[in-house]
Amino acid sequence: MEQLTYHDRPIEIKPMEPTREIGMLTHLVVYKRVPSPALPEEVVGKLVMLCLDAVDAVLDFQLEKELELPEGVTHNGKTTILAHEAIEAFELEEWLA
């Protein structure tokens, strides 16, 4: 088995632990809910957290919880979105199962 090295020191490659954040990012990018190349990385990261907050809110029966959108992002002309609206807008229904 070949060993990767950097300046003659071995490089240890560890598999990345799956997290909810990585799962949500994958969902948003793969299903084209967030055009990641077109948006700054910071905005994409905030949208990932917003979506996770929306899922948590709906699972806690807080469907009307108001969530702040990242700067520059609007929903129907507003800078906030309700948890249940985020579920619909980003097609997160499978995250509620």
- Condensed to tens digits (0 to 9), the pLDDT of residues 62-90 reads 999 999 999 999 999 999 999 999 999 99
For residue 13, give every residue at least 6 positions away whose Cβ sits within 8 Å of its Cβ, in sequence order, or none: 4
Which residue range is the domain that position 30 belongs to? 5-96
In the block, which residue shows the tokens 């090295």? 5
pLDDT per position as a tens digit, 20-66: 998 998 888 887 777 656 788 888 899 999 999 999 999 999 999 99
Strand, helix or coil for residue 87: helix
More reliable by pLDDT, 7 or 61:
61
Answer yes or no: are the C-beta atoms of 46 and 38 closer than 8 Å: no
Q: Roughly what angle, to the nearest 10 degrees, separates helices 20-30 and 41-59? A: 110
More reliable by pLDDT, 18 or 92:
92
pLDDT at 39: 80
The tokens for 12 are 């240890």
Please state the domain count of the chain.
1
| β-pair partners for 43 | none
